[in-house]
Structure 1
Amino acid sequence: MKLIIAEKPSVSKNIADALKIKARQDGYFEGNGYVVTWAFGHLLQLYDAKDYDNKMSTWKMENFPFIPNTFKYKVKGDPRNREKPDRGAQKQLKIIQSLMKRNDVDAIISACDYDREGQVIGDSIIYNLGTDKDVYRLLLNEWTPAEVIKGLENIKLNSELRPLQDAGVSRQWADWAIGINLTSVATLKYQKGKGKALNIGRVLLPTLKIIYDRDKEIENFVPEHYFKLQATFKTKDEQEYEGTYVEGKEEKFKNKETLEAIQQELLNKSAIIYDKQVQKKNEYPPYLFNLSNLQGYITSKYKGWTSDKVLKVAQTLYEKKFITYPRTASVALEESLVGKTAKVLETLSEDLPYKDEIKFVKSKRIFDNSKVESHSAIVPTYMKPKKLTIDEEQVYQAIKNRFIMQFMPVAEYEETRIATKIMNTDLKGLFISKGKVQLVEGWKKVEKVQSKDTILPLVQVNEHVDLVKHEITSHVTKPPKQHTERTLLRVMETCGKNYDGDGESEENLNAILSGFSIGTPATRAETIKKLKDVGYISMQNKNLLCTELGRKLVETFPIKDLFNLEFTGRLEKALSDIEKRTFSKKEFLQLIFDFTTKSVETIKNEKEITINEVATEHKTNEVMGKCPLCGHAVIEGQKGFGCSNWKNGCKFVIWKNDKFLATMKKKPTKTMVKALLKNGVAPVKGLTSKKGNKFDALLKYEKNADNAYFSWKMEFEK
């Protein structure tokens, strides 16, 4: 009997289905020679500082730096009360431990995600619980039945994944050391009043600096005026076209007088076609998606999306077996996937109106081992979804379309460049006109990409044309644009290298695949979300801007290395090198601990400045109504509307992030809570169904008959 530990319940169900196991027990599946159990992501977390030493219970400057001799793990904290262990995690760990100890279990297989975090999740559980049995690793890129069976036939010894574990643990311990120490001393030094701490992080600060720098660029931007000379010409068959005056390579002129002098030369002159070039050009589809590109594409195309939301939806599609592993940096597929990809393409092409144009090719642009780091690009699996939510549909279609595009004909267009010369003048320049005509739509059909044609008249070299009119136009240079999540992800991914490009260059791909980046595909979305949550950046429409607090932090915090993209990139590269066995965990951690110790001393010796002053609020809690359990007042708290008698054990609460309401894109409001407590029912408008339709309903919040908890009930007005 083999015990498989998956990262999540949904994944364990996929494995059980693939193995045709029907019997489900409390916390695991069993049958056909396997026991399949699960974690809930991280079941264990690192000790807090106070767990090592009681003196760390309160923050005092003299207690820092604090770096434990050995890092220890405990059951993760309850999200509602971090001081207590999470009961669900505690229970599941006991179940896993009892399964590991079973006499009929002769081997343990970690089936957590095939990445740094997945390795740490599996290893922290298995080795903290302790076992003398053989431990193996199931390494999969998708959870379809065929891949699960194939993967189990090719399991590896977990010891072979030691470099991945070392990289994961190094990342975890490094972020703990920097985060705990520098957040504490920065808050003590630069914040007045009690409130949220001043968050300091290895990935957080350089990301903030990118947005700060762009804000400063815009602030310091000085617009420049420039002028262009544009003329309209007419051919012998009465067709008109426009051209712009270009001298050398210059078409933007700072001095209007220069162009006014040239204008005088144009009076009563005719012109001739001096040169004509026609080129046929190919347009290739954009590369397959990696996570950053997918996040950038979705957040810029649709309203209301964040990169964090894109990752969550992609993760759901992955767990539902519809797409491959989403947390990837690669934009190509491994060459070993050629046969499988051909079958997926055949399955997905069946119902498409342009299926006759789709042709499987083994192209280096699609299949290239040198462009794959750990995981191939995100592509659909052979399993076709029957029913998806609107959000899932948008992400799935983007991935499917990008996949199909690779096997459609290359788009072709014709580019024409006409140079018109004014006759009988000494002008050095020519009037340049450019035209473009789409010849073959090709892959653009997949997403109905519209190409604008600019059609020029049919003329030949040395043909005479009339100069109909000419004018000087005035223009102003524009400041750089604010960062959006799309552009920010690009900078983070390439560590600022070539981030104004389209991301398609070989240089960009090499920067991404070398591991020289800010954060990883898995953590970038989380970093952007955290910057918003801690108040360092804000969002206006799709633009990201530095807040006053964010600006003060960048300008005051003395550890400049933490804002430096190059420094952060080198640290991320070192973690990547640990995975490749070219750098050691010991050297990396020593580097981090030395950096942390020096940084703490630097902050201590800085002069006293207040970055953030937290005003103490003396607010009276508004009473929502009477508690249905004990009759005391129900008041609004930070996380929910709860009974004021909670200290004496009353458990009545309506959480602000209530999961049932969240499924319908709603949060409880004061009006709703007051109505529920007064009348037992609340009319709620604008709920959203799974299909995305809006509806109204009557909601009740009633106590369960068999326990102390409450459940929602929905009714509709007749």
Structure 2
Amino acid sequence: MSKVIIAEKPSVAKNIAEALKIKTRKDGYFQGEGYYITWAFGHLLQLYDAKDYDESMKGWRFEKFPFIPQEFKYKIKSDGVNRSAEDKGAKKQIGIIKSLIEMPDVDGVISATDFDREGQVIADELFGYLKVNKPIYRLLLNEWTPDEVKKGMESLKDNKEMEPLQDAGIGRQWSDWIIGINLTSVSTLKYNFEKNKTINIGRVLLPTLKIIYDRDKEIENFQATTYYKLTSTFKTEKKDEFDGLYYENDSEKFEDKSALDKLLPLLEGSCAKVVDKQTEKKKEYPPYLFNLSNLQGYITSKYKGWTSDKVLKVAQALYEKKFTTYPRTASVVLDESLADKARKVLNVIKVGLPYEKDIKFVKLKRVFDSSKVESHSAITPTYIKPNGLSQDEGVVYTAIKNRFIMQFMPVAEFEESKITLKAESEEVSGEFIAKGKVQLVEGFRVVEKIETKDTILPMVEVGEKVDIAQNKIGMVTKKPPKNHSEKTLLRVMETCGKGLEDKENSEEMMKSILSGFSIGTPSTRAETMKKLKDIGYIRTKGKSLICTDLGRTIVEIFPVPELLDLEYTGRLESTLSDIEKGKFKKVDFMKLIIDFTKEAVEKIKKDTGALSKFKVEIPKDVESLGNCPACGNPVIEGEKGFGCSNWKSGCKFTIWKDDRYISSFGKQVSKEMVQLLLKNGKAGFRNLKSKKGNTFSAYFKYIRNEETGYYNWELEFI
């Protein structure tokens, strides 16, 4: 009997075939003793569109939303160019997979897609669509080398054991469909800023946009502050020079320059005495192994023209060519069970390196720690040495290889010195401090020739006198924060904005990543950034990411604050992570998403916050009676009433000429009354008649009802 193996891509199917020594290739599959090895092209299926469930959903109308299918269905994915047609290649491949599974000699199916949420769903949605009733097994691998494929085939899992992973993948897929379809449709109908412009709303899209928006606003609102500092240059007997910074009350910052000006004549041509010298030996450990976000940040910040999306594509290609391990990982350490494999890899890739003798395999806790591995271990090279790499592949492979080698090199060691000096003039009450480093052991830094920019201090001893050769007062203006780059944005997304952007190699960073509390996943963050650019919410300027006017408008007017909130989105991502670990039920998650979407749709429908963004130009022969209190556009006179010229965008401000409430007091709405109302917020009347026939005077106010969005009259007695 035979089994059908389904890989995620043709290149992976080829790797499996080579490992199993199967060479016969046919149309859409490999065939050998005991196996048919076929493949998908990523997702061959997609979820139904709304119109597939209901023909009337072709035309978007407010009353049709929220739209929640009773049951989610799948269809063959659409053609990339003609969205209304099926993808012919996908249809053909599904037919091949179906025919192979149905062959009489086949007694089981092996899912060999990537070992992650998306990979699980790619295969499982096929099994559901084809109604497969033969036993299904799961091949779980972190790399596609022959050794690992053979080992994995000997320890297949029952696919039923993967239900939590499937639930997390399906939950992500369905929830993004519900939120995306409903909120994008209703927002596009509501906020018609540009004709035929879709207003894309997404669970990960908006909080990512908000991160960039917040940084832009922080830069705009930044208040520059200035302070002054005094630096003196000291010269030893041996004519060695070094600089020291002047401190008073433990601070080197002086708001008043005149305080430092007074010191200059006291220091000129004077001496100082070394009153303290502290020297400490310190160790510097290599940065952790790469996870995907760190790799993307490293490459995009070091090389021009690289984006996170490009780094992911190149890393994926290296993985599929068997040169590196699975790239879509959040972990920066290795599982302890991988020690022997890492030793084998190290022994292969270190050969011929100029520092080969310094590379020693040690099972360090800093490298091997199962408690800090989230699903997949960090990215490393495999034992297969590459050849024929493209230039881009060479950049990414070298970075991964070097980071791996660094872990098994000596730590860098340096001596850190702090020299304290006192001026000989007693009127100079403060002290000077000079700091510097001397590198003792280059260690892992030799791998990437990391040069030190640290100051090197001369040898001086406590009690030694030195000349003050020069004094300089410098003005320091505090600079605003920098715009986000892809590297810093990835860091904020990875830790859900916990202020750990500068702590890449910290325990805090690792704990934050392991919690699953993040914006998106390693595999979706690059795609999110690309989509934000493609739909026009952000733009790039060099390596900086900046909000466009449209992106700013979306953040400022969108009436569902949860979708802009990092905490809320982080909790959703963490819940998906809990589903994957079997700690939370998919059904409960979907109820949460459906309830949220229903509420969000209603908020958008009732929203008036964006009305002011629409500016209406009225014809020259039409008189403006004043500005609309809801949106600021001109209020004009019509046949039956006075209304906002922005009515097409949904502004409901209208005062009818035959208003029953006003006429019940024996008065009529006039143009003059409307002008007064718009100017002063109220219009006064005398000789009003009550129901009892009494006369009185009062102001009329026209107040918006927040529940309905309509306006009602209120009286204020004079």
**TM class by smaller structure:** 0.7 to 0.9
Q: How does 1:138-537 map to 2 (within 5 A)?
A: 138-192=139-193, 194-263=195-264, 265-266=266-267, 269-425=270-426, 427-537=428-538
Give the drift of 1:474: 1.1
Give per-residue Cα distances to partners, 1:224-267, cap 9 Å, x unaligned.
11100111222233322211012233111112123234445546
Q: Provide the rounded CA distance (Å) in 1 between the counterparts of 2:507 and 2:299.
A: 23
Contact (CA 8 Å) 1:549, 1:611: kept in 2 or not?
no
Secondary structure of the equivalent of 1:544? Answer: strand
Structure 1: runs of 5+ lacking an equivalent: 615-718
Contact (CA 8 Å) 1:29, 1:37: kept in 2 or not?
yes
Q: Partner amino acid for 1:134?
A: P
Contact (CA 8 Å) 1:167, 1:576: kept in 2 or not?
yes
Give the drift of 1:455: 2.2
Give the drift of 1:547: 0.4
The corresponding residue for 1:134 is 135
Give per-residue Cα distances to partners, 1:404-460, cap 9 Å, x unaligned.
111111111111110001235154421000111111111111111111352222111
Q: Partner amino acid for 1:599?
A: A
Contact (CA 8 Å) 2:266, 2:425: kept in 1 or not?
no
Q: Provide the rounded CA distance (Å) in 2 between the counterparts of 1:161 and 1:58.
A: 39
Q: Provide the rounded CA distance (Å) in 1 between the counterparts of 2:458 and 2:488.
A: 39
Give the drift of 1:299: 0.7
Contact (CA 8 Å) 1:227, 1:255: kept in 2 or not?
yes
Give per-residue Cα distances to partners, 1:370-407, cap 9 Å, x unaligned.
11100000000000111111011111111011111111
Q: Partner amino acid for 1:336?
A: S
Q: Provide the rounded CA distance (Å) in 1 between the counterparts of 2:24 and 2:288.
A: 43
| CA spacing shift, 1:266–1:311, aligned 2, 3 Å | same
Q: Provide the rounded CA distance (Å) in 2 between the counterparts of 1:258 and 1:175.
A: 61
Q: Partner amino acid for 2:327?
A: P
Q: Is residue 2:553 matched to residue 1:552?
A: yes
| CA spacing shift, 1:610–1:303, aligned 2, 3 Å | farther
| CA spacing shift, 1:193–1:224, aligned 2, 3 Å | closer
Secondary structure of the equivalent of 2:452? Answer: coil
Secondary structure of the equivalent of 1:483? Answer: coil
**Count of matched residue positions in the alignment of Structure 1 and Structure 2:** 615
Q: Provide the rounded CA distance (Å) in 2 between the counterparts of 1:250 and 1:450.
A: 30
Contact (CA 8 Å) 2:113, 2:120: kept in 1 or not?
yes
Give per-residue Cα distances to partners, 1:103-132, cap 9 Å, x unaligned.
111111100000000000010001221122
Q: Provide the rounded CA distance (Å) in 2 between the counterparts of 1:33 and 1:610.
A: 66
Q: Provide the rounded CA distance (Å) in 1 between the counterparts of 2:524 and 2:347.
A: 34
Q: Provide the rounded CA distance (Å) in 1 between the counterparts of 2:472 and 2:609.
A: 61
Q: Is residue 2:87 matched to residue 1:86?
A: yes
Contact (CA 8 Å) 2:539, 2:547: kept in 1 or not?
yes
Could you tell which deviates more after superposition, 228-237 or 414-423? 228-237
The corresponding residue for 1:675 is none
Q: How does 1:16-95 map to 2 (within 5 A)?
A: 16-95=17-96
Contact (CA 8 Å) 1:265, 1:425: kept in 2 or not?
no
Give per-residue Cα distances to partners, 1:312-346, cap 9 Å, x unaligned.
01101100000000000000000000001001000
Secondary structure of the equivalent of 2:84? Answer: strand
Contact (CA 8 Å) 2:268, 2:470: kept in 1 or not?
no
Give the drift of 1:89: 0.6
The corresponding residue for 1:598 is 599
Q: Provide the rounded CA distance (Å) in 1 between the counterparts of 2:321 and 2:613.
A: 45
Q: Provide the rounded CA distance (Å) in 2 between the counterparts of 1:555 and 1:37.
A: 49
Secondary structure of the equivalent of 1:84? Answer: coil
Q: Partner amino acid for 1:501?
A: D
Q: Partner amino acid for 1:366?
A: V
Could you tell which deviates more after superposition, 439-448 or 371-380? 439-448
Give the drift of 1:502: 3.2
| CA spacing shift, 1:128–1:611, aligned 2, 3 Å | farther
Q: Partner amino acid for 1:354?
A: Y
Q: Provide the rounded CA distance (Å) in 2 between the counterparts of 1:499 and 1:161.
A: 33
Give the drift of 1:55: 1.3
Give per-residue Cα distances to partners, 1:553-588, cap 9 Å, x unaligned.
111111111111111100000000001111111111
Q: Identity, % of aligned pairs?
A: 63
Q: Partner amino acid for 1:509?
A: M
Structure 2: runs of 5+ lacking an equivalent: 616-718
Q: Provide the rounded CA distance (Å) in 1 between the counterparts of 2:404 and 2:214.
A: 36
Secondary structure of the equivalent of 1:545? Answer: strand
Contact (CA 8 Å) 2:269, 2:469: kept in 1 or not?
no
Q: Provide the rounded CA distance (Å) in 2 between the counterparts of 1:467 and 1:2.
A: 84
Q: Partner amino acid for 1:542?
A: K
Q: Provide the rounded CA distance (Å) in 1 between the counterparts of 2:612 and 2:160.
A: 47
Give the drift of 1:471: 2.4
Q: Partner amino acid for 1:567?
A: Y
Q: Partner amino acid for 1:573?
A: S
When the two chains are superposed, the root-mean-square deviation of aligned CA atoms in Å is: 1.6
Secondary structure of the equivalent of 1:62? Answer: helix
Secondary structure of the equivalent of 1:214? Answer: helix
Q: Provide the rounded CA distance (Å) in 2 between the counterparts of 1:274 and 1:265.
A: 19
The corresponding residue for 1:10 is 11
Q: Is residue 2:100 matched to residue 1:99?
A: yes
Contact (CA 8 Å) 2:559, 2:609: kept in 1 or not?
no
Q: Provide the rounded CA distance (Å) in 1 between the counterparts of 2:257 and 2:274.
A: 26
Could you tell which deviates more after superposition, 272-281 or 190-199? 190-199
| CA spacing shift, 1:71–1:613, aligned 2, 3 Å | farther
Q: Provide the rounded CA distance (Å) in 2 between the counterparts of 1:248 and 1:442.
A: 39
Contact (CA 8 Å) 2:557, 2:609: kept in 1 or not?
no
